[in-house]
Amino acid sequence: MTPKVHFHALGRAAYTPSLALQERFLKQAVDRKKMRRDAGLEGKDLSGNPDLDLPENHLIFVEHDHVLTLGKTGDIGHVVASEQRLKELGVEYYPTNRGGDITYHGPGQLVGYPILDLEQFYTDIGKYMRMLEEAIIRCCADYGVKTGRIEGLTGVWVNPDSGLAARKIAALGVKCSRWVTMHGFAFNINTDLQFFDLIVPCGIGDRGVTSLSIECGHSVDTEEVKKSVLNHLGDLFQWNLVEGSRN
C-alpha cells in the first residue's frame, strides 16, 4: 500500500501557529496508534474505517517570519546577539523539542515539516534523515549546484569535501514519537544570510552558511524550488501526495 500524505502549503507564517499545527497532527497520529494497539490492530490496514484506519501523514511547507529556534540539546550560548538586538531586528526566539542546536528561520527559506508515521514507510530514523537530505541534494543539482554530506554533521553542504571551506545550505532537526516524526528541514533559497550572524549556526562555528541564490549567482524562483523539493521527496518516499489545506 502506498502511504497517503496530506500536503499543506502555508506560505508565509509565524513560528508559533506552525508549531501548534505540527503538534496537533502528531498527537492525532500517536493517539490513533495507541487506539489501534489497544484494539489489537497494529499493522492492519482498515481503509474505509476512519476510526481505526492508519494514522494520517502530513507535510507542511512554510516560510517563517524571523525566528531563532533552539534544539533540546542545544546551547543558548550559541545565540551571540543580545535580546535587545533581536528585538530591534524583530527576531523571535523559541526553545523546541527537536534535535540539533540553534538555527535561524526567515523569509526566502523553505522550511519543511513532515509529520509521518514511519511504520508506514520504514522504522529507521537515520535513513529518514538521509532521505530528507537527498531530496535537497537533488534539488540543488537541478540548479547546477553540487552538494553533499559531511560525516558526523547533519545537513546538506556545498563543497562538502573542502574542509572548513564547506558551507551549509540546509539544516535538519527532527523529533520522533512512537515512530511519528515532526520538525524537519530548513533550506536556504533566497535567505538573507546576515541573520545567521546572530548565532553560531547549529553550534558549528568553523564553517559558513550559504543559499541557493548565492551559489547560483542570482535570485531564484522560490516557488519553483519548492516544486523541485516536493517532486524529489515524492520520488524518494513513494507516497501518494494529496492536497491538504493552505491555512
Length of the chain: 247
- The CA distance from 109 to 65, in Å, is 10
Helices (H), 116-241: 125-142, 212-216, 222-237
- The CA distance from 111 to 107, in Å, is 10
- The CA distance from 140 to 137, in Å, is 5
- The CA distance from 194 to 162, in Å, is 23
C-alpha cell at 196: 545567521
The gap from C-alpha 114 to its chain's centroid, in whole angstroms, comes to: 7
Q: Is residue 199 within 8 Å of 103, Cβ to Cβ?
A: yes
The catalytic position among 139, 140, 202, 216 is 202
176 is catalytic: no
Residues assigned a catalytic role: 202
